[in-house]
Amino acid sequence: MTATDTKVKRERVLHSAREKAEAVLASWTERRRPSEICREMKITSTMLSQWQERAMEGILLALEPRTGTGEEQRPALPAKVERLLRRKSTAAGPSRLSRRLTALAQAKEAEKPPASSGRH
């Protein structure tokens, strides 16, 4: 019997977008520990991390301004989410999520065209 014969195959469980969002928000708001979420949903911590990264990318994309009117840009994240991210990052040091968020924000800044002075 080889090592691969003794491995137990995991049954693939499909989760709805709502279930994924609830899991991510439960983790972000610290209502539940990630290990609890993973155990109950039968997913790996890597999968939960991927959901978190995808959720944050979606949030950042959804909050980008839709028009380039030259008005003052609003922050990409609501103050409550910023506070949660700050609290999470100061409690455990810079996490992979916060490093990814920083990289995404920097990439978005690099993509923006330079602001015009309004003079021609």
Q: What is the pLDDT of residues 45-55, one digit of tens each?
A: 999 999 999 99
Tokens 């103050």, residue? 79
CB 77 within 8 A of CB 63: yes
Give the separation between CA 61 and CA 98, rounded to whole angstroms.
16
Tell me the per-residue pLDDT of 79-113, one tens digit each, with 9 for 90 and over: 777 777 777 666 655 566 767 778 888 887 787 66
Residues 6+ away with beta carbon under 8 Å from 98: 85, 88, 89
Q: Where are the domains of the chain?
A: 14-62+77-110
Residues 6+ apart with CB under 8 A from 35: 45
Please tell me whether the overall predicted TM-score, pTM, comes out greater than 0.75 for this model: no
